[in-house]
């Protein structure tokens, strides 16, 4: 009888404990994200859908809400994935032999990338379609009513949808790559079909980021201007408050005494105008009560920070375009093994890594702002305690598509040198020079165009308002000409 090899046993035991430790860390991270997303979604859900007389509908909505919470947690994890990896690499470089960060290693980071990829596939292809069909189902005709009947109908609809999508992907593969081996590889569901389908979804997400991010970068200045107090530039706030109070009193008098005017009145329009005047008066009072530091220092600093971040993003993309023409190593590629703590992924060291993380978060926030500002997706914008369940599902799907494409988006634009880990680097279109080059050029061009248009229009409008030209009866460029009907009234 041979004696046991204690060295082999100790290595296996060490690997076992490392896997258990990685599972515990991943579970804790996901639980934290899940709790945050659950609190966030409960602020937007419509309470009437969860307190209905029919307990069946309330149960279905609760199940769908938990699925949406899971999907939103995965989306938030995808956003944090690349910044967490960059920061972990710099921490391991700065403290290579620290005992308290031994849990932070390449195996953990690589496992997190694989988990995000797996659950993103699961959420996009199965969970979110299931949640939508589940909320819309009523059970088959003639079957017993209840949650179980809805589950049967949802499963059947999901199977039909899976067959439809599978056929569409197989046909698309045959058209794009007319190769027998590539078509036969789609029969392997887990190894080829899901990554190929996710590659198509990720490509759509990257294209959506290309459209939404430049629009969001331009909209960030106006959004920040609404949240902060603007400085007084050739303005008399007391006069504006007096005029606003006078107009509000006149509208209130017309609403309370509609018979005093011989012309027919549109009461709904008058109420909207009154609400707009009240909102304007609150903003003017807020500006009057703001301190000089908040008014004259906070707003310019915020605008300067946005301008620096936006200009730095465009500059990095422009430099990356030149690198693509000169060096082949600038192309985005995948990395199977996560070798962290060996070399910095920024030429400026830790400072450059912090700048990369800030730019990634800034572009993600800008893409979300641009997404909800676009006319096509403006109707999806969630409302406080008044968002339907189907609208929550649509928002979670769109946010997951945007966030899961963020690592590929950041690496394609050259915002970071951190190579894509796991299946994120297996996308076929990442190796196409023309796609990557045109994508970078389009991003730089669209961002510059949106910023120039926004700044020229904003500066022109502010100057006109500052000099009081908007109150003149003459038509001014940038303001709509009053119609004859309005002038006669």
Total count of domains within the chain:
2
Residue 386 has pLDDT above 60, yes or no: yes
Task: Report how far residue 72's alpha carbon sits from residue 102's, in angstroms, rounded to the nearest whole number.
Answer: 30
Q: Of residues 21 and 272, which shows the higher confidence score?
A: 21
Structural domain contains residue 457 = no
Task: Report how far residue 57's alpha carbon sits from residue 469's, in angstroms, rounded to the nearest whole number.
Answer: 56
Q: 112-116, 141-145, 291-295, 469-473: which range is least confident on average?
A: 469-473
Contact 132, 393 (CB under 8 A): yes
Quick one: CA torsion of 63, 64, 66, 67, rounded to 10 degrees? 120
Same domain, 272 and 421: no
- Banded model confidence at residue 186, pLDDT cuts 50, 70, 90: low
Same domain, 124 and 198: yes
Q: 85-99, 276-290, 349-363, 441-455: which range is least confident on average?
A: 276-290
Structural domain contains residue 397 = yes
Same domain, 233 and 110: no
Residue 109's nearest CA partner among 400, 339, 405 is 339
Same domain, 144 and 49: yes
Predicted confidence at residue 484, as pLDDT, reads 40
Same domain, 249 and 209: no
Structural domain contains residue 144 = yes
Residue 476 has pLDDT above 50, yes or no: no
Same domain, 165 and 247: no
**Which tens digits make up the pLDDT trace of 133-160?**
888 887 777 666 777 878 888 888 888 8
Structural domain contains residue 263 = yes
- Banded model confidence at residue 483, pLDDT cuts 50, 70, 90: very low
Of 246, 263, 288, the residue that ends a domain is 288
Q: 49-58, 179-188, 318-327, 359-368: which range is least confident on average?
A: 179-188
Query: For 241, how many CA atoms within 13 A lie in the half-sphere containing its CB?
Result: 11
Residue 183 has pLDDT above 60, yes or no: no
Of 248, 269, 288, the residue that ends a domain is 288
Residue 69's nearest CA partner among 39, 113, 27 is 39
Residue 349 has pLDDT above 50, yes or no: yes
Structural domain contains residue 459 = no
Same domain, 107 and 16: yes
Same domain, 267 and 320: no
Predicted confidence at residue 466, as pLDDT, reads 59
Same domain, 258 and 300: no
**Which tens digits make up the pLDDT trace of 245-303?**
777 777 777 677 666 555 556 667 777 777 777 776 776 666 666 666 666 677 778 88
- Banded model confidence at residue 434, pLDDT cuts 50, 70, 90: confident
Structural domain contains residue 470 = no
Residue 412 has pLDDT above 80, yes or no: yes
Structural domain contains residue 334 = yes
Judge residue 416's burial from the number of C-beta atoms within 10 Å of its C-beta, 0-12 exposed, 13-18 middle, 19 or more buried. buried
DSSP letters spanning 22-86 = HHHHHHHHHHHHHHHHHHHHHTTB-GGGTS-S-HHHHHHHHHHHHHHHHHHHHHHHHHHHHHHHH
Task: Report how far residue 50's alpha carbon sits from residue 52's, in angstroms, rounded to the nearest whole number.
Answer: 6
Same domain, 210 and 251: no
365-399 as b/e: b if 16+ CB within 10 A: bbbbbbbbbbeebeebebeeeebbbebbbbbbbbb
Mean residue pLDDT of the chain comes to 76
Structural domain contains residue 485 = no
Model confidence pTM above 0.85: no
Residue 482 has pLDDT above 60, yes or no: no
User: 234: domain range?
Assistant: 229-288
Same domain, 373 and 442: yes
- Whose tokens are 């310019």? That residue is 300
- Whose tokens are 């819309």? That residue is 136
- Banded model confidence at residue 408, pLDDT cuts 50, 70, 90: confident
Using alpha carbons, list the distances in angstroms from residue 45 to 58, 92, 368, 383, 428: 12, 42, 19, 8, 39
- Banded model confidence at residue 14, pLDDT cuts 50, 70, 90: confident
Q: Which residues have a Cβ under 8 Å from the Cβ of 238 and sit 6 or more positions away?
A: 288
DSSP letters spanning 344-366 = -SSTTTHHHHHHHHHHHHHHHHH
Predicted confidence at residue 143, as pLDDT, reads 67
Same domain, 90 and 157: yes
């Amino acid at each position: 009888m041979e004696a046991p090899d204690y060295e082999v046993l100790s290595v296996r035991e060490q690997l076992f404990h490392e896997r258990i430790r990685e599972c515990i860390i991943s579970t804790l991270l996901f639980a934290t994200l899940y709790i945050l997303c659950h609190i966030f979604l409960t602020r937007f859900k419509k309470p009437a859908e969860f307190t209905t007389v029919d307990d069946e509908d309330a149960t279905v909505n609760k199940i769908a809400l938990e699925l949406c919470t899971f999907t939103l947690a995965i989306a938030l994890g995808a956003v944090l994935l690349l910044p967490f990896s960059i920061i972990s690499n710099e921490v391991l470089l700065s403290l290579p032999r620290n005992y308290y960060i031994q849990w932070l290693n390449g195996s953990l980071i690589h496992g997190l990338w694989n988990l995000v990829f797996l659950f993103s596939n699961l959420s996009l292809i199965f969970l979110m379609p299931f949640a939508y069909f589940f909320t819309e189902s009523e059970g088959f005709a003639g079957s017993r009513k209840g949650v179980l009947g809805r589950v049967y109908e949802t499963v059947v609809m999901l199977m039909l949808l899976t067959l439809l999508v599978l056929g569409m992907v197989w046909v698309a593969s045959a058209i794009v790559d007319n190769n027998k081996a590539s078509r036969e590889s789609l029969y392997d569901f887990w190894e080829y079909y899901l990554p190929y389908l996710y590659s198509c979804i990720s490509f759509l997400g990257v294209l959506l980021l290309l459209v939404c991010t430049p629009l969001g970068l331009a909209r960030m200045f106006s959004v920040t201007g609404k949240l902060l107090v603007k400085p007084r530039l050739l303005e008399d706030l007391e006069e504006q408050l007096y005029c606003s109070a006078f107009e509000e009193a006149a509208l209130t008098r017309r609403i309370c005494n509609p018979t005093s005017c011989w012309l027919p009145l549109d009461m709904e329009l008058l109420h909207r105008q009154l609400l707009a005047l009240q909102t304007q008066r609150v903003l003017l009072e807020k500006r009057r009560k703001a301190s000089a530091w908040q008014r004259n220092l906070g707003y310019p600093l915020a605008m300067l920070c946005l301008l620096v971040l936006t200009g730095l993003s465009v500059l990095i993309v422009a430099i990356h375009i030149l690198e693509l023409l000169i060096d082949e190593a600038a192309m985005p590629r995948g990395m199977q093994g996560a070798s962290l703590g060996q070399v910095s992924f920024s030429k400026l060291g830790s400072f450059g890594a912090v700048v990369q993380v800030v730019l990634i978060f800034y572009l993600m926030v800008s893409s979300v702002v641009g997404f909800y500002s676009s006319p096509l997706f403006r109707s999806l914008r969630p409302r406080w305690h008044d968002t339907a369940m189907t609208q929550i599902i649509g928002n979670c799907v769109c946010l997951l598509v945007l966030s899961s494409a963020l690592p590929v988006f950041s690496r394609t634009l050259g915002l970071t040198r951190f190579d894509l880990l796991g299946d994120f680097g297996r996308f076929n279109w990442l190796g196409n020079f023309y796609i990557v080059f045109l994508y970078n050029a389009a991003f730089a061009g669209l961002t510059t165009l949106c910023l120039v248009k926004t700044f020229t229009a904003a500066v022109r409008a502010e100057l006109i308002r500052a000099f009081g030209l908007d109150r003149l009866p003459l038509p001014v460029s940038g303001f709509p000409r009053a119609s004859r009907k309005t002038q006669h009234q």
